[in-house]
Amino acid sequence: MKVCGDTEAEIHAAIEEKKATLSNNKSAMSNIVDYTAREKATELQTKMFGELKAAVVDDAQVTFNELKAFCGDQAKRLGDLITVVMNKYKTTDPRRYEPFEQVKDIAVKDQVPPRATLPLPEQVEFQLANATWYEEGFQAAMKEVAAVFNEAKTCQEICEHYDIDNSGGKWSKELRAEVFNLDLRTNQVVRAKFGPLKGFPRALEKMSQGKTLRDLNRDTFEFEDPLLMALCFEVLNKKYNIHGLKNKYLQETFKEPPNLHMNLDIKDGWLCEVQMLFRDILLIKKELHNFYDVNRADGPFVVAGKLFKSLEDPGEQQRDEDSKYKSGLQSGGEDSLLTVIRAKDDQLKANAEELKSNAEQLEAKDAEIERLKAPLSQYEDDTKTSPPPPPHP
């Protein structure tokens, strides 16, 4: 696969395109948190609860409808950012994205729920007990995978640890690519985050709708590098029986934050959920979640609790600064990814100047050689036309 091109002009054009992509991504990431939108949502929510408290239910419903429409607009705004952000992962280094595109969906396997003959509430209780039992081992297994990735020096080390075939060089690229740095402070390449176990009411509601409880034990792997996300899938596919996989990043359009979603048979047929998300997509998802919950609610009583912490909370600014740092948007400085690309561009220009200088020096040396050869050629010509010298007496 050609990434930049053959000629100097093609290389510069490719670099300029990457710069534009990273610049657009920086703009998108800076627009995730809209404080004006947060204030508006909080204002409407406060008004709605005041009306409920005063038992003015009709007015509360009107305000709820306004809040819901507003949150719907915000959800769309954040959804539109996903496409911009995904361009970064696809185009910054296509060679690292190519293996990720090869991760295809795996059909969900039919499985009879445990204790399916029991009444539904007892089935739920049994499955929640199972989830509690397996949680410790599940977390330990996923943390071990993250530790192997974070402690490795090369992709080859990971392949050797898990006996992954790398004979074709698919995983021979550098482990820590400059343009896909997850955390500049720790140099980690992946984070494992675990969701809380579902409560009985939510689990019962889900099973009552005919759905299976495949996500009672949940882990989210946060990556920045598509190559490493694809390699992590290879590891899990090697270690566990995968009962279903959806690579939602392969969609042409995005209505919600995409992920690499799978269910693993962690032990004895017990299924756990693993999601893999890119860092920037995860940041969008966190902000989107607040608006999305309101957008799918069917009445004012469903929207309980403030959507956002107080905007005057002294910790809010620091948390946002941490988010900016994690997303590569350091206060007062250039985006780290854009800086890397610019540095490479400068290096390319320097190399081009050096090549030009070397070429000029070679031309000068060639001219000097031709000049030195001229008398020799003249001498050879003279010897050919001159009569031979008389024999020595």
Helical ranges in the chain per DSSP H: 8-30, 35-53, 57-91, 94-101, 120-151, 155-162, 200-208, 226-239, 279-295, 314-326, 336-385
- Check the CA dihedral 267-141-182-173 and report its sign: negative
User: pLDDT tens digits for 179-206?
Assistant: 888 887 889 999 999 999 889 998 998 8
Domain-located, residue 349: no
Domain-located, residue 119: yes
Domain-located, residue 213: yes
Domain residues for 63? Answer: 31-331
Q: How far is CA 230 from CA 101, 215, 220, 256, in A?
A: 8, 21, 14, 21
Domain-located, residue 376: no
User: pLDDT tens digits for 316-353?
Assistant: 444 454 454 444 444 333 445 455 555 555 665 666 66
Judged on CB neighbours under 10 Å (0-12, 13-18, 19+), 129 is: exposed
Domain-located, residue 341: no
Number of domain units in the chain = 1
Domain-located, residue 344: no
Domain-located, residue 22: no
Alpha carbon distance 60, 137 (integer Å) = 47
Q: How far is CA 45 from CA 213, 266, 360, in A?
A: 33, 42, 72
Beta bridge partner(s), residue 270: 267
Q: What is the mean pLDDT of residues 42-71?
A: 92
Q: The whole model's pTM is what? A: 0.71
Alpha carbon distance 306, 308 (integer Å) = 5
* Helix 57-91 vs helix 279-295: crossing angle, to nearest 10: 160
Closest CA to 62 of 72, 48, 75, 49: 48
Domain-located, residue 46: yes
